[in-house]
Amino acid sequence: MMKKLGLALAITFGCLWPAAPLVLAQTAVPEPAVPGLAEAKAAQAAAPSSALDSALFYQLLMGEITTQDGEPAAGFALMLDAARKTNDAQLYQRATDIALQSRSGDAALQAAGAWQQAQPASREANRYVLQILIALNRIADTAAPLKTEIELAPDVERAAVLTAGAAGLRPRH
């Protein structure tokens, strides 16, 4: 009889053992009451997700380090590549600023143009393109950015944009 009971227990235990993780997974374990835990979870859920992964972080870090080490062309290339990957306006602006600081007008125009192409509704990108073209004395190329600036300006600012544009185009004596 003891042998039969032992055998029955062994069979029962052997059959139930594989199901134990399923049973345990279905049982709800109450979370410990930690002050502020609910608020922290709500803040984490509401926080915007970031495209900054380890590879992008490393690329941005290398871009800044190479720029600071006197190689702005390499820093510019890394920053512009990161901007294109993420479509982030701040990274486009940083790439443009790196090029401007290194007095590379063509590279600055390239970065601002990429920014404007990636984000056509960005007035800031359009302004950068317009200002760089004027700084490079490429006045003939400013018609499209001027038109875009007028189109993107809110109705209340449109008259001011037109006046500022006309004042900037008058010949100076």
* Site of tokens 């006309």: 166
The first and second tokens of residue 63, run together, are 């871009």
> What pLDDT, in 10s, does the model give residues 104-156?
999 999 999 999 999 999 999 999 999 999 999 999 999 999 999 888 888 88
27, with CB counted inside 10 A (0-12, 13-18, 19+), is exposed
Homologous superfamily of domain range 54-169? Tetratricopeptide repeat domain (1.25.40.10)
pLDDT, tens digit (0-9, with 9 covering 90-100), for 29-61? 555 566 666 776 776 666 666 668 899 999 999
Tokens describing residue 145: 């950015």
Look up the pTM and report it. Answer: 0.65
